Structure 1
Amino acid sequence: MDDLVKEITNLRKTLSGDEEGSLISQVKMLRQDSNDQQKKLQESFDNFAKHMTENNQKAFIKALKEAMKDFNQNLTEQFGENFKHLNQAVEKLVTWQQQYKDELEVIKQYQSQFTGDMKQASEAFTTIVDHAKQFTEIAQNLKLLLESMDKQKDVLFIQEKALSELLVTMKDHIPEFSENTRKMISEISNGVKHVQAETVKVISDYSSEIKTVNNDMKNTLADVIKGTHSSLSDGIKASVKTIQESITELQSQTAEIIKNHGAQLQSTQAEMKNILIDGINKSQHEVNAGLQENARIIKEGVLALDKELEKSLTDSLTSLGKQLASLSEKFVHDYLPLTERLREVVRLAKHSEDA
C-alpha cells in the first residue's frame, strides 16, 4: 500500500510537479516549442508571402511588360502592315481619283468640242434651211416664169406658123412683084423720056398737062415706094420675129435646163439635209454611248475599289481581333495557375490562423 501511495505520489509529481521531467513541464515546453514553431512558421509564412508577393508582382509586372511588349510589337507589325496596305490603297485611290479627274477633264473638253461642233452644225443647218427657202422661192418664180414662157412659146409658135405661111405665099409673088416693078419703072422711064421730048417740043402749050402728069407720077412713085417699104418692113419684122422665136426657144431650153437643175438641186439639198441629220444623230448616239460606257466603267471601278477597301479593312480588323483574343487567352492560360497557387497559399494561411 505504501508502495502504491509512493508510486501514486511519484506519478503525481511526475504529472504535476515542477521538475523538468514532469508531464506538465513537458507539456509547457511542448507548448512553448509549438508556439515558437508557430511564430517561426508565421514569420516564415510572412516572409514567404512577402517574397511571394514581391516575386509575383515582379513576375506579373515582367510578364505583363513582356505581354504588352509582344502585344505592342504584334500590334505594330499587324497594324503597320495593315496601315501599309491601307496607305497603298489610299495612294491607289488618289491615283485613280487623279486619273478620273483627268478623264473628266478630257470628257469635258470633248463635250465642249462636241457642243461647238453641234453649234456649228446647227448654224450650217440653219443656213441650209434659209437657202432652201430661197431655193424654194426661186423655184416657184422659175415655175411661174416657165409657165409664162410656155404661153409665149405657144403664141410665138402660132405667129411663126402664120409667118411661115405668109413667107410661102410671098415666095410665089415676089418674082412677079419684081417683074411688075421693073416693067413699071421701064414704062415710067419711057413715059418720062416721051414727056420730055414732047415737053421740049410743046413746053409752052402743055405745061399744065406736064404738071398733072408729074403729080400723077409723083403719087405713083410714092405708092410704089410705100409698097416697097412696107414689104421691106414686113421682111424685117419677120426676121425679127424669127430671131425672137429662136431666142424664146433658147430661153425655153435654158429654163428647162434650169428647172431640171433646180429639181436636181432640191434633190441634192434633201439628200444633204438627210445626210447631215443622220450624221448629227449618229454623232449624238456615239457620244451618248461613249459617255454611258465611261460612266459605267467609272461606276464599276468605284464599286470594285469600295469592295476591295471594305474587304481589306474587314480582314485587318478580323486578324487584329483574332490576335487580341489569342493574346487574352494566352494571358489567362499563363496566369491562371499562379492565381490558383495564390489562392491555395491564402487558404493555408487562413487555416493556420484558425488553428
Structure 2
Amino acid sequence: MVFELKRIVRPKIYNLEPYRCARDDFTEGILLDANENAHGPTPVELSKSNLHRYPDPHQLEFKTAMTKYRNKTSSYINDPTVRPLTADNLCLGVGSDESIDAIIRACCVPGKEKILVLPPTYSMYSVCANINDIEVVQCPLTISDGSFQMDTEAVLTILKNDPLIKLVFVTSPGNPTGAKIKTCLIEKVLQNWDNGLVVVDEAYVDFCGGSTAPLVTKYPSLVTLQTLSKSFGLAGIRLGMTYATAELARILNAMKAPYNISSLASEYALKAVQEDNLKKMEATSKVINEEKMRLLKELTSLDYVDDQYVGGLDANFLLIRINGGDNALARKLYYQLATQSGVVVRFRGNELGCSGCLRITVGTHEENTHLIKYFKETLYKLAKEQLK
C-alpha cells in the first residue's frame, strides 16, 4: 500500500502557486514596496510599535521553536522510523478552525466527496463540511463501556465501503469526552487505509502528553492539529498549528492568506515557546490536572451525581453525569448556576452518550472552590423541588 498525496488533494490545489507578498523577498531597509503607511499607526499609544508594517508571512522562528519542543518531548525520540519535525512540517492558521476548513477545501470536491467524524465530537468539522458542501458520515465512538474510544473495525469497514470519504477527523483528547484516543488505534487506521487523510485534533494534548505530531514524518497520511488556546492560555491570539508532511504543509501554506497571522499573534506566540515559558506551561498544566482531581473527588461524592465520571481525564475539563442521566435536572442546574451564582459550565446532555452530562472546565483553585459550594447548594435545592 503506497500513499500518494497527489491522489488525495484536488489537482488545482496540489499545483497551486502561493501568493508572493512583499515580505517574501525583503524585510529590512526603506520599505516602499507594500503600500504601507510609513508614518506609523494612527493610535498615538502605538506610535512606537511596528504595526504599520505587514507581519512576517512565514513565522519560521516560531515554527522552529515549536517543532523543537515537540521533538524534545516526543515519546518516539528513539524510534528510527520517526524523523525529527522541522519548520517545513508546520502550517499556522487563525485557530485550528482555519486549519480544519483548509484541509477540507484542499481534499474534498464539493457536492461529491465526504468526511468521517466520530461523535460525540467537536462540531466545527461538520460546520466546515456543510459550508463547503461536503457530506458528513458518522461512526460513533464506543459508548457502551464509557471509554469513548475509536471503533477501528467499524471505521475501517465504512472507509472500505465508501471510497468518496477523503478525511477522518479524530479528536484526541475528545471534546466533550475528555478521553485521549489510543495511538495504536489511530495507527491501525493509518496502516490500513490510503484513500485519504487521518486528521487528529490535539487541542488538549499538553494535559496528558503523547502527541501524534512526530508521527507525521512516519505516516504521510497523518495530519495533527494543535493550538495555543488551551495549555498555553493564549485563546485570544487565535493561533492554530497543523503538523503534516513537508509536501502537504507546502500545499496548505500556499492556500492560506498571505498575512493570516497578525504581528501581535506572532509576537506572543514566539514568546510562549521560549524555554522559561514552556516550563511555565508545563507547570500550569500540572496544577490544572491536580485541581481536576480535586473537583472530581468533590463533585462525584455528592448525592445526585454519578460516582463514575464520563469519558476520560485527559483534558482540562470534566464530564460528569447528573442523577443517572437526568437531562432535565442537568439543564436546570446549568442554567441556575449561571444566572444565580455566576458559575458558567456547559450542558452537554444532547451529545451522543452524554445524557444528563455537564462539561466543567477546571478553573483556578478559588474558582473551583466557588463552583463546588454553589454546585452542591443548587443541585440539592433543585433535586428537592423535583421530588415534591
Larger Rg: 1
Both proteins in one fold, TM over 0.5? no
TM-score of the two chains, using structure 1 as the length reference: 0.14
Please identify which structure carries the higher strand content.
2
The higher relative CO (CA closer than 8 Å, separation ≥ 6) is in 1
